[in-house]
Amino acid sequence: MMTLKAGRIFHINLNDNGTALESDPVELFHSENRYRDVAFSPDGSAIYEITDSFGPVQAFGGGATTDLWNPGSLLMFKYEGENSTR
């Protein structure tokens, strides 16, 4: 799940019916970007994020800013930790 103006991406676990949360959302990323879409690689080791080119976003210090960190970008984050498959 992503938030457009808050610049956050969360991982959520739904129940088998997809109607309720199984646990609290876990924040994966927080930046001064407006995220438009998120996709995962088939093995789950990479997250692809598309950012908006303009518009307000919640700044780290509070309030709003239009000074985006990665406007109009495709970002990729790859997990290379202890449980990584690659």
pLDDT at res. 86: 45
Q: Assign residue 55 a region (left: φ > 0; alpha: ψ between -120 and 50; beta: otherwise).
A: left
Query: Could you give the CA distance from residue 68 to residue 39 in angstroms, rounded to a whole number?
Result: 21
Q: Which residues is 11 bridged to in the sheet? A: 26
Residues 14-31 as b/e (b if ≥16 CB within 10 A, e otherwise) read eeeeeeeeeeeeeeebeb
Total of domains in the chain: 1
Q: What is the pLDDT of residues 40-73, one digit of tens each?
A: 999 989 999 999 999 999 998 889 999 999 999 9
Query: Which residues lie closer than 8 Å to 46 by C-beta, 6 or more apart?
Result: 40, 76, 77, 78, 79
pTM of the complete model: 0.76
85 part of a folded domain: no
31 part of a folded domain: yes
Containing domain of residue 33, as a range? 2-78
